[in-house]
């Protein structure tokens, strides 16, 4: 549906975006992850044709939008990082105002405003001035504005920054619903790893203007060493069981925090059969076995040497 090819944006003193390639298939939720200043907002502005690229192309349904920016504006809804609302208008008046900018006809506009108020959960506050809203409600209305012209693709630039956990959950659930129920394609920008992990099918990680990793969650996590950690909890820890585990050929490391044992083994090895066999031999009762895969946060740290929220 959307393809970004070797996209760059150089300012006088700054190369904000450097040769970015990315694509979105229809119906996907794709995450764009990166710390402050990574180039996410600039990439979004380039895709929405608000800023002209220094080089590269943005293609919508195989057609370059650089020469025909109107095309993407009809299909795309952008939720900007900053709240772009009129504080002295009510929620409904804001939606009506932005709807008129999209030249939506009066009767149709009423239907859409009503539908959007339902989606963002502000039906009962529609007659209140926006200046009386909490940060989370303003963010929800900001999303509503982007939905008015029924876009096929929606780009959200850190829509949950600085809001309470309840509003944040509401927004995440709304994004999920829009994707599942209305088949809206989503590009979701965030520096919250867990949001992207929850929402997105595929992820691009950006740092210093470049895409430094891309793939499904699983593919990105597999960038990390090919190891897994297996945590076993036992009823009573026996030295004999421990020794036998230690002697298994693929166990690279073993640590004990009674009654839990943690083994580090290569990912490709299926060691579970041995764990249970040795437990039986030594009459050890296993309470639980937990296999840990690396988190996206671990991968980011591995790729950049920095925490995502530095």
Q: Which residues lie near ligand ATP (CB under 6 A)?
A: 11, 14, 16, 34, 36-42, 81
Half-sphere exposure of 151 (CA within 13 A, CB side): 26
Closer residue to ligand ATP in complex, CB, 37/69: 37
How do beta strands 55-60 and 202-207 pair? unpaired
Least separation in angstroms between residue 253's CB and ligand ATP is 37
Closer Cβ to ligand ATP, 17 or 275, answer by number: 17
Cα separation, 167 vs 174, whole angstroms: 10
Distance CA 207, CA 215 (A): 15
Torsion angles phi and psi, residue 201, rounded to 5? -80, -45
- Output 39 or 151, the one with its CB closest to ligand ATP: 39
| Minimum CB distance to ligand ATP, residue 192 (Å) | 11
| Nearer of residues 2 and 16 to ligand ATP, judged by Cβ | 16
β-bridge partners, 257: 260
Q: How far is the CB of 81 from ligand ATP (least distance, A)?
A: 6
- Cβ proximity to ligand ATP, 15 vs 233, nearer residue: 15
The nearer residue to ligand ATP, 119 or 205, going by C-beta atoms, is 205
CB of 16 to ligand ATP, least distance (A): 3
- In angstroms, rounded to a whole number, what is the distance separating the alpha carbons of residues 197 and 115? 28
CB of residue 20 to ligand ATP, shortest distance in Å: 11
89 class by beta-carbon count within 10 Å (0-12 exposed, 13-18 middle, 19+ buried): middle
Report the nearest approach of ligand ATP to the CB of residue 39 (Å).
4
Report the alpha-carbon distance of residue 151 to residue 167 in Å, rounded. Answer: 23
| C-alpha to C-alpha distance for 22 and 146, rounded to whole angstroms | 22
């Amino acid at each position: 549906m959307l393809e970004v090819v070797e996209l760059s944006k150089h300012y006088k003193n700054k190369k904000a975006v450097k040769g970015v390639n990315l694509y979105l298939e229809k119906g996907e939720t794709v995450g764009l992850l990166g710390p402050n200043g990574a180039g996410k907002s600039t990439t979004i502005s380039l895709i929405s044709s608000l800023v002209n690229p220094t080089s590269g192309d943005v293609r919508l349904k195989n057609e370059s939008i650089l020469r025909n920016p109107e095309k993407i504006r009809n299909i795309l809804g952008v939720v900007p990082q900053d709240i772009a609302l009129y504080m002295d208008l009510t929620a409904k008046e804001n939606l009506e105002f932005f709807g008129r900018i999209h030249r939506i006809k009066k009767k149709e506009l009423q239907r859409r405003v009503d539908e959007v108020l339902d989606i963002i959960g502000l039906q009962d506050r529609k007659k209140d001035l926006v200046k009386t809203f909490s940060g989370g409600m303003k963010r929800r209305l900001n999303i509503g504005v982007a939905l008015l012209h029924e876009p096929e693709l929606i780009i959200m630039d850190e829509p949950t920054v600085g809001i309470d956990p309840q509003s944040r959950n509401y927004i995440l659930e709304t994004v999920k619903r829009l994707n599942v129920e209305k088949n809206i394609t989503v590009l979701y920008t965030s520096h919250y790893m867990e949001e992207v992990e929850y929402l997105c099918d595929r992820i691009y990680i950006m740092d210093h203007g470049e895409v430094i990793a891309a793939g499904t969650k699983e593919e990105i996590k597999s960038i990390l060493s090919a190891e897994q950690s297996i945590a076993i909890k036992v009823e009573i820890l026996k030295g004999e069981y421990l020794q036998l585990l230690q002697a298994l050929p693929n166990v690279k490391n073993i640590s004990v925090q009674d009654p839990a044992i943690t083994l580090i083994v290569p990912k490709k090895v299926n060691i579970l059969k041995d764990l249970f066999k040795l437990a039986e031999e030594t009459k050890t009762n296993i309470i639980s076995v937990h296999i840990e895969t690396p988190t996206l946060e671990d991968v980011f740290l591995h790729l950049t040497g920095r925490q995502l929220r530095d």
